[in-house]
A = this chain, B = another copy of it.
């Protein structure tokens, strides 16, 4: 058997070098472009690599370069929200596209419990991924801080109070203001809100935007509107019930999510209020659900795919930065989608 062509084995850099009649070092330089190589030799090496179908072995490269060529997308299992709407798949798709064009692998991590969270931190600290994308909306979650402390490039979805943290968020307050201004513009006199959880920045910012819009229009915000709830439909139903009991004259509702709005619509229907004639309703998110409600929901759309894209670009920037890069933050615009409900 010939000593040169060992079949059934992936071609290695040495194989390429031998086939091209040059040394390993030269072949490596030609392929990576990291040093001087004469044009003739470069061509020969590139052709040999092509012929043999050479592809560098990731593990070997990682071992030597101390670079993983991969990024982890981290989604704590406690983020139920993320799993029940279309937010996550859309972000994922955008992240995947961006990473693929940069030639990086996407590792998905859904840590369960403290043990796995710690494991993840060590994994990150040991640089087995080049960076992290983190989806964690709850303010109390210790994970963002822990990962930040690990010193790995890190970007979160949603603004973070932690100093040194890079993040990408949508303009929740601005979107809420737009929604309320829209309701006022169509003639509503008493605009209430069904707020989301206040330990998530999205929930808090949407509530703040509602209040600001009312104040600057000269209205007095109604204060008690079930702020402690979550983003679910059930909470929307119950909150709407309480609101109707307390302010029977309400004629506009800004809901901090589409699911809340779905619940509100149901309660309004049960109460015999016509939407949008008696009460106008605006939601937030523009999930697929919104267009299937009766009537179709007017809502504030957030550019979900763009969140993923911007997060990835920001992270790649941090990774490529030579020294300890400074934190970046991006705020993406939202806009109102008018349908039948308000």
Interface residues of A (CB under 8 A from B): 10, 53, 55, 57-60, 62-63, 68, 70, 73, 77, 82-84, 86, 88-90, 92-93, 96-97, 100, 105-112, 116, 122, 126, 128, 233, 262, 288-289, 292-294
The contact sample of 10 A-B pairs, CB cut-off 8 A, is A55-B126, A57-B126, A59-B128, A83-B93, A84-B89, A89-B89, A96-B109, A97-B112, A106-B108, A106-B109
Contact A107 B110 (CB under 8 A): no
Question: Which residues from chain B contact A73 at a C-beta distance below 8 Å?
Answer: 108
Number of copies: 2
Contact B77 A93 (CB under 8 A): yes
A84 vs B291: C-alpha distance when bound (angstroms): 13
A93 vs B63: C-alpha distance when bound (angstroms): 30
Contact B59 A63 (CB under 8 A): yes
CB < 8 Å neighbour of A108 from B83, B92, B233, B288: B92
A143 vs B145: C-alpha distance when bound (angstroms): 41
Q: Contacts A57-B63, A233-B292 known; A96 to B108 CB distance under 8 Å?
A: yes
Question: Which residues from chain B contact A128 at a C-beta distance below 8 Å?
Answer: 58-59
Question: Which residues from chain B contact A288 at a C-beta distance below 8 Å?
Answer: 84, 289
CB < 8 Å neighbour of A86 from B63, B83, B92, B110: B83
* Chain B residue nearest to A126 in the complex (CB): B10
* Chain B residue nearest to A64 in the complex (CB): B59
Contact B86 A84 (CB under 8 A): yes
A70 vs B62: C-alpha distance when bound (angstroms): 15
Question: Which residues from chain B contact A294 at a C-beta distance below 8 Å?
Answer: 294
Question: Which residues from chain B contact A96 at a C-beta distance below 8 Å?
Answer: 108-110
A60 vs B66: C-alpha distance when bound (angstroms): 11
